[in-house]
Chain A
Amino acid sequence: QQQVKQSPQSLIVQKGGISIINCAYENTAFDYFPWYQQFPGKGPALLIAIRPDVSEKKEGRFTISFNKSAKQFSLHIMDSQPGDSATYFCAASLRNTGKLIFGQGTTLQVKP
């Protein structure tokens, strides 16, 4: 099963709040889990990434939590800002293939 399931599809958060996006997978051959941020009319930009031997990674306001046994990972955006309003994609890389499998995306709107 090569799917990555992402939720919610859309999210509205007040400025200063915490945005949480969740992803789940089945395939144990995934070995790298990046998150991408995409603004309208632009290409996806890498936000933060994690490997399955690490349970949490933090970069500034962005944190990935990874639960290997549950095959779930999530993105937390602390102190969300209107400039964070974008579409967020989780992804998972199939080991030794170069293939990146994307979740369906979450459209985040941060209200001022």
Chain B
Amino acid sequence: DTEVTQTPKHLVMGMTNKKSLKCEQHMGHRAMYWYKQKAKKPPELMFVYSYEKLSINESVPSRFSPECPNSSLLNLHLHALQPEDSALYLCASSRLQLAGGQETQYFGPGTRLLVL
């Protein structure tokens, strides 16, 4: 099973709202990722968690706040977003090699976010 699930599928929010995106995997992967994808563009890395600890933050604005409550769950908390933050938000997970090498990243279906 290589399934990564994401909820909700679609989200519409105003600029003053607070909302959260949820990602879950049960593959035993210890690396989890958040990506942002604009239409007709490749995914852009936002955050990486390794062993439930934030290891990479790609200079993402603080209105995006990630959280990894356990090894299977990854959340992205959203607050005071801008219309230009409208995009497809993708979660991915992968195994971690002991030597730090790359393992395949498996993506979820994404949450389509619209900020009004």
Contacts and interface: CB of A to CB of B under 8 A. Distances in A.
Interface string B93-114: 0100000111011111110100
Contact of A49 (B33, B40, B48, B104): B104
Contacts of B56: 97-99
Interface in A1-58: 31-32, 34, 36, 41-46, 49
Contact of B90 (A31, A43, A104): A43
Contacts of A95: 100-102
Contacts of A36: 107
Contacts, number: 60
A43 B33 contact: no
**How extensive is the interface on chain B, given as a class?**
20 to 34
Interface string B40-62: 11110100101000011000000
Interface string B57-82: 00000000000000000000000000
Given A103-B42, A104-B41, A43 B109 contact: yes
Contact of A43 (B42, B45, B107): B107
A6 B42 CA distance: 11
Chain B interface mostly helix, strand, loop or mixed? strand
Contacts of B94: 98
Nearest to B103: A32
A44 B107 contact: yes
Contact of B43 (A31, A98, A102): A102
Contacts of A45: 107
Interface of B: 4, 6, 31, 33, 40-43, 45, 48, 50, 55-56, 90, 92, 94, 100-102, 104-110, 112
9 contacts: A31-B101, A31-B102, A41-B112, A43-B108, A45-B107, A95-B100, A95-B101, A98-B33, A103-B42
